[in-house]
Chain A
Amino acid sequence: MLDILKPPVLALQDFYSLAGRAIRNIVRRPHYYDDIVLQMDIIGVGSLPIVLLTGFFSGAVMALQMSRALSQYGATGQVGMIVSISLVRELGPVLTAVVVAGRNASGMASELGSMKVTEQIDAMRALGTDPIQKLVKPRLIATAVVLPLLTIVADFVGLVGGYVVAVPLLSLTTAGEYWNTAWRAIEYNDIAQGLLKPLVFAIIIALVGCFYGMRTSGGTQGVGRATTQAVVVASVWVFVVTFFITRVFVNL
């Protein structure tokens, strides 16, 4: 029994150790600004097309799904409110995080994993740089900055997607009513959780991606395994953590 529990407990310990060192190093010099900007470009600008697409269609499909239910109650005018609440509170942050986890947690794990198996991480340490500072910190900071921004973009294009379905396509409501109800439905509480969630997800995605990359072993096969694990674990944690954050905000 103990033997079964040992590897996950040790892995968790390693993860906390990496997370602690990465977060402690955020304020510690040296800062590799070039790497932070490069990662922001890769994660932020690189993810923009896919975030726009998923955001737009998730808003559109929400409006489509709600059209029938709302028409039963004669409340089709409220479609803007429903789309905006569900997007800002939940769908925007979670879908963006899952997309970025799939795209970037895997990228981090495979890049760092390849460096690990070819001894580049050891070489980095031998040549005077701390891989946590040089590799993990820029990815953590970059993800924490761009994921909330990507989420805002996803929320907005999601609303546009909902609008396209609700107004020109199905004529559920007028443009003015759609945007008015969408805008008025959102409270500060929603914005707070809508922005806190991507920040927490960003930390999870970056740390999980880097963690699996840094502990890769077993050649190219190991890199593949690390990549898969990073995406799976990061995505699952996004869903678990969103539940707990929502639980806290529902009680507020």
Chain B
Amino acid sequence: MPEQSILRFENVTVTFDEIPVLDGISFEMRRGDTCVILGAAGSGKTVLLKTAIGLIKPSAGRVFLFGTDITELDEQELFDLRAKTGVLFQEGALFDSLTIEENVAYPLVNQRAAKRKKREIRELVEESLRFVELAHTLDKFPSELSGGMRRRVGIARAIVTEPPLVLYDSPTAGLDPITANTIVTLIIKERDVKKTTTVLVTQRYQDGHLLANFRYNPRNGQVEPVTGNGHSDTLKTRFLVLRQGRLTFVGDQQQLEASADPYVSKFVKREI
């Protein structure tokens, strides 16, 4: 079990100024899983993601990342585990004093485990930017790009080291529906092409619905709805619903849509 477990929360509680922001969270993700975490603003979604990679230390409980208990690890020890995790922060969190190329190259240049030659770094950066269809922006600065483009660069930076686990923090927040769909399509493409374990934190049920029911077809380069039974075993999408720091729901899409909980159904009843 431990070698298959990518991320495990065991009764994790996080408190800020004695107020619990996460309260007794437990769940587990295995290789290839997709996990959609829904919740209103301030429900603890971002804190949960940051706790998963040790940016925030839990005040109680344990977090296992790639089978290692990270609760007691110091910053230096965490770097090797974080190198295997890609993160897209809310709003992208690009370094605004660096160019797009330097931003995407940042993990390649700075991760200790991944020392590479300049030429190789440039190739990987270009490949990653091509993946998000922004290969022409290498010399630009983040402020010169639109909000949607910045998120896409954020995705390119998160996946440039080809991490087996990628965490996306509200990738579609504040974007128009068309751009939001482009972003989710990229997430599906990354998940299906690189077979990454994916955690998506979002306020929009539509994002989760797309992730659960669509897959990337490498033959035509399009995202298509899953049809028939052939794919259902590979689409292991679970939904978690957070409410004021507590998990009020864990289950698949059918269970989510059937839930009688008024808070949960508020997310689902939106038009898809």
A residues lining the B interface (CB < 8 Å): 115, 118-120, 122-130
Contact = CB atoms under 8 A, between A and B. Distances in A.
Interface of B: 50, 53, 55, 75-76, 79, 82-83, 85, 87, 89-91, 93-96, 106-107, 110-112, 157
A6 B272 CA distance: 49
A126 B55 contact: yes
A130 B53 CA distance: 14
Contact of A128 (B55, B90, B107): B107
Contact of B75 (A119, A120, A122, A130): A130
B89 A128 contact: no
Given A118-B91, A119-B91, A125 B96 contact: no
Interface SS of B by simple majority: mixed
Contacts of A124: 95
Contact of A123 (B76, B79, B85, B93): B93
A69 B94 CA distance: 60
Given A125-B55, A128-B112, A129-B110, A120 B83 contact: no
Nearest to A111: B97
Nearest to A131: B75
A123 B97 CA distance: 14
Ranked nearest first, the 3 interchain pairs of A and B with the lowest CB-CB distance are A128-B111, A119-B93, A123-B93
A120 B93 contact: yes
Nearest to A130: B75
B87 A126 contact: yes
A127 B96 CA distance: 15
A128 B93 contact: no
A70 B85 CA distance: 72
Contacts of A127: 82, 106-107, 110-111, 157
Contacts of B112: 128
Contacts of B53: 126
A227 B110 CA distance: 29
Contacts of A118: 91, 93, 96
Given A128-B82, A130-B75, A120 B95 contact: yes
A128 B50 contact: no
B75 A123 contact: no
Contacts of B95: 115, 120, 123-124
11 contacts: A118-B91, A118-B96, A119-B90, A119-B93, A122-B50, A125-B75, A125-B82, A127-B111, A128-B82, A128-B112, A130-B76
A119 B85 CA distance: 17
A130 B111 CA distance: 11
A122 B167 CA distance: 14
A151 B82 CA distance: 43
Given A119-B93, A120-B95, A120-B96, A126 B85 contact: yes
